[in-house]
Structure 1
Amino acid sequence: MWVSTKAQYGLRALIEIGRRGGSGAAVPLKDVAERQGLSQHYLEQIASNLRRAGFIKSVRGAHGGYRLARPAADISAYEVVTALEGSIAPVSCVEEDHVCDRGHVCGTIDLWQRVDAALRGVLGSTSLADLIADSERQEHARLVQLEPTYAEARP
């Protein structure tokens, strides 16, 4: 499975909106694009898909932007990736609607089914709230590293 930039950027945008809009405030897409280093034009296309899929809702007006349409804990990475990518099956023969006439003699089907189950398991058990918390921990660790220690701060 190859995860496109659409799914990667979509998750990053949702994390940013979830972090910054936690108080219910709308987050301008321009701010998300700048903070994440993404093309605003491409992010607008992705946001349109995220809105149609029910992950975010738009807020019009002077303080407009986007906010999460559902609690972050109720949005799984699996839902987001499949909404933006479609199937995440590593090979077509493990897709639910695929009929394979070689399944009875294929020596790799079990491997691909395990890979598929692992992908679904990891993405399905990871919520947007988990990703937001990870992002906040990473930023906190980065900020702590930037703070001078007492010995370094002394003249």
Structure 2
Amino acid sequence: MWVSTKAQYGLRALIEIGRRGGDAVPLKDVSERQGISQHYLEQIASNLRRAGFIRSVRGAHGGYRLARPAAAINAYEVVTAMEGSIAPVSCVEEDHVCSSQSVCGTVDLWHRVDAALRDVLGGTTLADLIEQSERQEHARLVQLEPSFAASRL
């Protein structure tokens, strides 16, 4: 399975929007903070909106906010909304009929890989990712603090 930038950026955009609580977040802010092209981010936001993860807010202080609580959105939902199937091989997809299944020695392996992907992504909420992002930023800021203080001496 190869996760495209569309799914990766979709998750990053949701984290950025979710970090702002209930405030509307302009895509320009998300673009600048995440280093994602605003044009590409507009396409991603359109997909996220259609999938019901975000809603747009019009007006001077407009932008996007989460349409559901961060704890009610999991990574599996987001990745599959952006990617479609995340099956590592086609033979584990629900509608696939494999003519080699009776002689294939790897089908069980691929089913386990698929189940592991679903478990990890499905067991990770947007709230988990937001919390992790905030911890990482806090740690980064703490590391910068001593060098900032030394430069002021």
With the shorter chain as reference, the TM-score category is: over 0.9
Gaps of 5+ in 1: none
Write the distance in 2 (CA, Å) between the matches of 1:148 and 1:32: 28
- What are the superposed Cα offsets for residues 46-86 of structure 1, whole Å, 9 maximum, x if unpaired? 00000000000000000000000000000000000000000
Alignment of 1:1-155 (within 5 A): 1-20=1-20, 22=21, 24-148=22-146, 152=150
Gaps of 5+ in 2: none
Deviates more, 1:98-107 or 1:82-91: 98-107
- What are the superposed Cα offsets for residues 10-39 of structure 1, whole Å, 9 maximum, x if unpaired? 00000000002x0x2100001000000000
Count of residue correspondences: 152
* Cα RMSD, aligned residues only: 1.4
Write the distance in 1 (CA, Å) between the matches of 2:84 and 2:16: 23
Write the distance in 2 (CA, Å) between the matches of 1:152 and 1:4: 42
- Give TM-score scaled by structure 1 length: 0.95
Extract structure 1 runs of 4+ deviating beyond 4 A.
151-155
- Taking a change above 3 Å as real, the CA distance of residues 2 and 154 of structure 1, as seen in their structure-2 partners, is closer
Q: Percent same amino acid at aligned positions? A: 86
SS of corresponding position for 1:147: helix
